[in-house]
A = this chain, B = another copy of it.
Amino acid sequence: MAFGHRIQMIPLPKGFTVAGVRCGLKNKRNDLGLIVSDRPALSAGVFTTNHVRASCVDYSRRVVSKGHVRAIVVNSGNANCCTGVQGERDTARMAELVGKELSVDPELIAVGSTGIIGHLLDMAKVERGVREAAQKLGVDAHAFMDAILTTDLVEKWAWVQPDNLEVVSPHSLTPRTPDTDHNGLMIGFVKGSGMIAPNMATMLGYVITDLDVEGLDVQAILKRVADNSFNCMTVDSDTSTNDMLIVLANGGSGVKADEAAFEQALGLVCTSLAKQVARDGEGATKLVEIRVTGTENPKKIARSIGDSPLVKTAMFGCDPNWGRILMAAGKCGVPFQPSDVKLSIIAADEEHLLFEEGAPASFDPKRVSSALKSDHVVIDLRLGDGETATIYTCDFGYGYVRINAEYHT
């Protein structure tokens, strides 16, 4: 099933080409990818906050923050993390190799890595891979996606156009093809499904667009969008050493973006990608969307529920366990009155009230359990008037333990 459903063509923004090749860093799958813009693209990025991080994170942060990027090179199979000074040299060397092939200043090239940590990259393989990828640059975004995935079971991408904000993704029921003569296009690619070691399944996200963003503070926009999309997603509460999310905008469409429209488009793409990552969490059987309304900090409560192994195992077991949800809400230090609580589950197009006014509601546990077999479940917790915060996560079953405890067998 994995990677089998290539029914949709993935469009690229004007002026961008991509490639994905297999250079031997891992078995049987592509492991080196390139994204190239035919002109310097305005760049913005957000990076892991982990104090243990790979050299590519610091390298790419520096490159991206200078304002313009021509290419991104990514390898999977080896995270080049905890590899000391030689690891730093190898990151810089990856950029140099790409620069040489493309005749581009290496200072305009970002680098991403994901995979096993504590091992030096086999630079001979990387060099061959870069050469081959540069020759194969074209429109095959599936080949690029293959090159950046690790434990992911499915491709994850999403695109929108400013004139049609309905997001197209692998989950779209009615996929469409953009006009070749389109008025701007934005597409994002992401990998990540939790963490697995000795591979650490980093979250790598790349969003490219041909919109002209001259004059916009794309970095500030990206920060806001990331806070409401990727930073609202939790698979196992762990944070990788190599996480990065980079946006490139090259203006190739000639269409000028205004700030609000650009932020809206980026938000739609990133939210779709974050949901796809949560749904593809290691061992997950469903996307669990947690909406909390009211209190001084609904996001903290939503995250506490989303990180709770007890809530996640209950979702795996299809049990409408309101007690665990309230426990997880109550433990994070944000005050609320249990008598103000209204808790519902929305699944399979039905809303089921579980708890209200300090006491459990009368619901049919078998019927709610049956609804919870859906692959998309919403936990809706109302604690008073105020803002609603949403966290995307997944359930937690035997598959997670299998992937994360038995990866050697």
Residues of A at the B interface (CB closer than 8 Å) are: 49-53, 81-84, 117-118, 195, 197-198, 200, 236-241, 307-310, 313-314, 316-317, 319, 321-324, 326-331, 333-336, 338, 355, 358-360, 396-398, 400-401, 404-408
Contact = CB atoms under 8 A, between A and B. Distances in A.
Contacts of A53: 330
A328 B238 contact: yes
B329 A52 contact: yes
Given A195-B327, A324-B195, A401 B50 contact: no
Contacts of A338: 51-52, 82
Nearest to A283: B401
A317 B407 CA distance: 9
Contact of A322 (B118, B323, B408): B118
B326 A52 contact: yes
Contacts of A195: 310, 324, 327
Nearest to A313: B404
A89 to B, nearest CB: 14
Contacts of A83: 359
A118 B357 CA distance: 12
Nearest to A329: B52
Nearest to A324: B197
Contact of A239 (B331, B397, B405): B331
Majority secondary structure, A binding face: loop
A314 B52 contact: no
Contact of A51 (B314, B321, B336, B396): B336
B405 A313 contact: yes
Contact of A323 (B197, B398, B405): B197
A331 B239 CA distance: 6
B50 A238 contact: no
B118 A359 contact: yes
Copies in the complex: 2
A330 B52 CA distance: 5
Contact of A360 (B118, B326, B404): B118
Contacts of A326: 52, 82, 241
Nearest to A240: B327
B400 A82 contact: no
A406 B316 CA distance: 9
A309 B194 CA distance: 10
Given A82-B359, A197-B323, A317 B397 contact: no
Contact of A358 (B84, B313, B322): B84
Nearest to A322: B118
A324 B334 CA distance: 30
B401 A321 contact: no
A129 to B, nearest CB: 23
Nearest to A408: B319
Q: Which of A241, A313, A321 has the largest count of B CB atoms less than 10 A from its CB?
A: A313
A333 B49 contact: yes
A404 B309 contact: yes
Contacts of A334: 51
B404 A397 contact: no
Contact of A309 (B236, B330, B406, B408): B236
18 contacts: A50-B327, A51-B333, A51-B335, A81-B323, A83-B359, A197-B324, A238-B327, A238-B328, A240-B327, A241-B323, A241-B327, A316-B401, A317-B408, A319-B407, A319-B408, A396-B401, A397-B401, A400-B401
